[in-house]
Amino acid sequence: MKRNKLFLAMSLSTVLAACGSDVDLNVGNTITGGDIGGDNGGGVTNPCAAYDVNGTSYQGDYLSDGNCSYSLEFARAGKPVMADVTFGVLESGGVHKFAGALEIGQDVDNSIAGTVPSAGNAPVDQGGAPEGPVLFVNKGATLAFPEGTFLRINRGSQIIARGAVDAPITFTSIADIEDSNNPENARQQWGGLQLNGNGITQACTDDQRNNATCAVQTEGVPSYYGGDNNDESSGALNYVVVKHSGFEVSEGDELNGISFYAVGGNTEVDYVQVYSTYDDGLEFFGGDVSVSHAVLSFVDDDSLDFTDGHTGVVQYALIVHEEMDGNRCIEADGQSKASGTGNQEEMWHSLMPYTDVKIANMTCLSSASDESAGGTHGDSEGVLFRKGFNGGLYNSIITTYNATGESNELVEFDDGAPYQASQGRIELKGNIFAGSEPLKDPGTEDIDGNTLVDMATFVSGNDNAVTTDLAEIQSIRNGYISAAETLGASPVTLTAIDTRFDDSDFIGAVKDGDDWTAGWTVGLDSLPAGVSN
C-alpha cells in the first residue's frame, strides 16, 4: 500500500503540535511503580508502567484481574510519552491494555519548523544515545490496543523489545485478549506497529536532506519521517509477534503489521512475526533496516513490500497465504519520475536512490486464490518487481500449496523492471519456482519494439529451477520445511552478494532439523492442508 496524503480531522491536533517552533523535545525522567492500597490495609506494589514529565507522574492502573489499564491521560494520539518507559511482564499472564494509541517521542513536521532529534546509531542497550525517549518492553510482555489505535515510535526515539524463544513479546488487539471466541484470523482490530526514522527516502530531495527539511507524511493518522542518516537505529525487535492488525483509516488507506518509515540500518529486527493483518505484513519506505527470521502468515495484501529507495536485506522469511486471501509474497519498486504517463522510456528512469533490496532464503507458499473469489487485495501470487527496483532474490522457494499444483504467477517483472533486468540490475539465483504458472512474461518492449526480457531465458541457468509438474512441486518441501530435493537448483554463496547475509547451504526459509520458528510463533500448528508439517 502506498502513501496517502489525506489529512484526518482526528489527528489535527498532532499535526499542529508538531508544526510549532516551540516544540519541547526534552525527555522526562522514568519513575518506578508506586503503591496502591489493598483491602487488607497493606500495600500492593503497582507493576504497571509509569513515567514522569515536568513533575507530573503518569502510571497505569493495576486491576484485580492482574491486567494493567492505561487511560487516555497516560497516552493517546497527539499526546506522546516524552520519557523513557518500561512495560514489564505481568504475573499470571496479565496484559497491558490501552484506551488509546501509544506514541513514543514528539512528532515534528520539520518542513515547516522544528528540529528533529537523532535516535543515535545503535540500540540504547548496545551503547546508543537517542535524543528522544525510549520504550522498553520486557520479554514475555503483552500489550493490547483497541480498534483505531496504533503503536508509533517517532523520529529520535527507540523501542527496545527483546523477547525470547520461550517468552516472546506480543502486540495485539483488545478483542484478542477479551473475547475468548475472537477468530484466530481476525484482522483490522488495531493499527499495528510503526517506526519512523531519519533515514534516506526517495520522497525527499537532496536539498531537503541537506537542509534538514525532509518530512514525509506517513500513511494512516499522519506523522512524519525521513532524513539523511541511513545508519540510525530505531531500536531492536527480537522475538516479537504482531497480531490482528491493519485497520482501515479510510478507503484504500490501511495500516500494516509493521511499517518501517526510513528506518536506519543499525536497527535490529530478528525473529518477528506478523499474523493475520489486513494490509501489508512488513512494509519499508526507504531507509536501510534489514530483517532476519520473519514469519508472515495470513497477510491480506503484500507480505513484504519495499519502496522509496529501501536498501536493506531480508534473510529467512517464511510466508504463508490464507486459502482464500493474500496478494503477493513480495512487491518491490521505487518512485518513478513519470509514473502513470504511459511513457515507458521515462518510467524506466526512476528517482534516486533506487530501491535496492536483496532477499534470500524465503519460502513463499501461495494458495492460488483469486480476487474474483473473494480476495481482498488481489490474487495470491509470488514475487513482483516493478519500476525503480534493483536487487535480487536468492536461495528461495516460490511455490503453491494448492493440492493440484495450481498457482498464479510466481515471478513477474512489470513497469520499468524489465528495463532494469536488461541492464543487469536485477538477479534471480539459486531459486525454485514451482507451480502451474511459475513465470509471467512481461511482454514489455522498448521504444524501438525490442523485447527487453524473456523470463524463461532470464531465469534459466543461474542455479534456478522451474517446474509445473505436480510431483516435483510436492517434492521440494515437507510442510513449510525445505526438503532435500531441489530439482537441480543450487544455493549460491550469499556473502559474495552482500556481507550482511549469512552463508546458507540450503534453499528456502527453514532447514530440516533447524526449525527456528518453533516455540515463539503463533498459528503454525493450524495451517491449511498442504502446509502443516
Q: What is the pLDDT, as a whole number, of residue 314?
A: 98
Mind giving me the DSSP string for 377-429? Answer: SS--EEEEE-TTEEEEEES-EEEE--TT---S-SEEE-TTHHHHHHTT-EEEE
Say what the pLDDT of residue 7 is.
Answer: 32
Q: Does 386 score more than 80 pLDDT?
A: yes
- Give the lowest-confidence range in 247-256, 408-417, 493-502: 247-256
Task: Report the percentage of the chain scoring pLDDT > 90.
Answer: 70
Q: Which of 32-36, 355-359, 404-408, 435-439 has the lowest mean pLDDT?
A: 32-36
The strand pair at 85-87 and 355-366 is best described as unpaired
Buried/exposed 366-387: b ≥16 CB within 10 Å, e otherwise: bbbbeeeeebbbbbbbbbbbbb
Calculate mean pLDDT across residues 197-223. 93
pLDDT band at 120 (very low <50, low <70, confident <90, very high): very high
The pLDDT assigned to 377 comes to 57
CA distances from 313 to 30, 59, 356, 434, 500 (A): 35, 39, 9, 24, 7
Q: Sketch the domain layout of the chain as residue ranges.
A: 68-291, 356-532
Report residue 429 as a C-alpha cell.
539465483
Q: Is the pLDDT of residue 23 over 80?
A: no
What pLDDT does residue 28 have?
46
Evaluate whether 256 touches 229 at the Cβ level (below 8 Å).
Answer: no
pLDDT confidence band for 139 (50 / 70 / 90): very high
Other Cβ atoms closer than 10 A to 104: 25
Pairwise CA distance, residues 171 & 52, whole Å? 24
In the predicted structure, residue 2 carries a pLDDT above the cut 60: no
As a whole number of angstroms, the distance between CA 375 and CA 282 comes to 19
- The separation between CA 444 and the C-alpha centre of its own chain, rounded to angstroms, equals 31
Nearest to 412 by CA among 323, 489, 316, 327: 327
Does residue 404 have a pLDDT over 80? yes
- Residue 220 zone, left/alpha/beta (φ > 0; ψ -120 to 50; rest): left
**Which ranges in 245-307 belong to alpha helices (H)?**
none
The residue that leads in pLDDT, 329 or 185, is 329
> At residue 211, does pLDDT exceed 90?
yes
More confident residue, 16 or 425: 425
- 253: how many CB neighbours lie within 10 A of its CB? 18
β-strands 158-162, 235-245 pairing: parallel
The predicted pLDDT at position 369 comes to 67
Name the band, by pLDDT with cuts 50, 70 and 90, for residue 446: low
Residues 126 and 168: beta-carbon distance below 8 Å: no
Mean pLDDT of 378-398: 92
pLDDT above 80 (res 254): no
Highest mean pLDDT among 14-18, 73-77, 217-221: 73-77
128 has a pLDDT exceeding 50: yes
Tell me how far CA of residue 361 lies from CA of 269, 318, 319, 346, in angstroms: 16, 9, 11, 33
What pLDDT does 29 receive? Answer: 46
Dihedral angle, C-alpha 192, 401, 185, 379, nearest 10 °? 70
**Strands 313-320 and 355-366, sheet pairing:** parallel
Averaged pLDDT, 243-263: 82
Q: Partners of 258 in the beta sheet?
A: 193, 282
Q: Mean pLDDT over all residues of the chain? A: 87
- CB-CB contact of 268 with 291 (8 Å): no
Task: Decide: 195 and 234 in contact? Cβ < 8 Å.
Answer: yes
Which of 105, 95, 88, 40 has its CA nearest to residue 68?
A: 95
Mean pLDDT of 184-208: 91
Scored b (16 or more CB within 10 A) or e, 448-483 reads eeeebbebeebbeebbbbbbeebebbbbbbebbbbb
Q: Is the pLDDT higher at 346 or at 261?
A: 261
pLDDT band at 20 (very low <50, low <70, confident <90, very high): very low
Residue 473 above 90 pLDDT? yes
Decide: helix, strand or coil at residue 20. coil
Closest alpha carbon to 390 in 369, 359, 436, 365: 359
pTM for this predicted structure: 0.90
The C-alpha cell 519512523 sits at 196
pLDDT grade for 40, boundaries at 50, 70 and 90? very low
The grid coordinates of residue 191 equal 493499527
What is the Cα–Cα distance from 293 to 352, expressed in whole angstroms?
29
The residue with cell 518492449 is 445
